[in-house]
Structure 1
Amino acid sequence: MAISRRYLLGAAAVLGGAAVSWRLTAPTAARTPEEAFPFSLTDAQWRARLSAAQYSILRGHGTEQAFTSPLNDEHREGAFNCAGCDVPLFSSTTKFDSHTGWPSFWQPLEQAVGTRLDTSYGMVRTEVHCRRCGGHLGHVFNDGPPPTGLRYCINGLALTFAPAGA
């Protein structure tokens, strides 16, 4: 059977359209209807407050490239805060090297984060967000160290670091 150029172009258009459609809709699949958070800003205020990369992660549910965050190598005593609203999220005492390329913690501070089901990109994961502003932080997995067995895999750009005593 001979395949015509027209057939190939048509098939490519359909597959390309499906891929583009999936790519545009997949990240929003994890979002639930807008929730009310204690700290909220307009989209314009978020864009003014955050860098483009931080906005992509915190407000757009993006992910930074692995092994690019300086916070991966941060080992001082202190707190890791939300880059969106500055609330403390994780203590340096719960940070560990997961060898994944993102800052990882085995436990958040009490009442600091929330979670929700994330089914984007054809996977089922648990998304972690800031309980105060709703900013996307990363995901939590069940392959962490004792005592919790959890690995909070967090985008470094979603965090700032506040050294103890500063």
Structure 2
Amino acid sequence: MDFSSSKSTAIVKYQPKKSAVHRVHALDKTLAGLTKNYFGIDLEQLPNMTDQQLAEFADRVSAMKRLIDVLPILESHFKTLIEGQVQYEEFVANIQKDAAAAAKKIDQQILNVFLAGKNYQQHIRMMGEKAANGVRLIDAEGRSALTLERIDLLQKSSLG
């Protein structure tokens, strides 16, 4: 007899041991998929699960009961964290808005001082120009007076 894998001599094909529980007929594939995806419960494979796999459900139930017991505490803590974060964000936003408004006021004062400085510089230039014009006028008046004195002196010396 040849027992190689290319030729099968078995009369009945080997199948792993199945549960003695008959398959369920009222199983909707879509809803069973939801049960599996949302809750990790495979209703289709439930009859074929090992004792270890079934025991894992008991472990999950124990963990869920502990979670249910602490959910009100967690909810209170999480609400505090969320509300605190919101208040902190509002605080930071308000401080930044206040800082921006204050910075605008400071910037306006800086601009006012800058313009006042430029105005004063213009005033100083104008005063310098007036002073230079005044000195020129005084010099011109002085030259005119000297010229008149010379003319007067020349006239007196030619007359006399």
Task: Specify the TM-score bucket, using the shorter chain as the normaliser.
Answer: under 0.3
Higher relative contact order (CA 8 A, sep 6+): 1
> TM-score, length-normalised on structure 2?
0.20
Higher percent of residues as strand: 1
Structure number with greater Rg is: 2
> TM-score, length-normalised on structure 1?
0.19
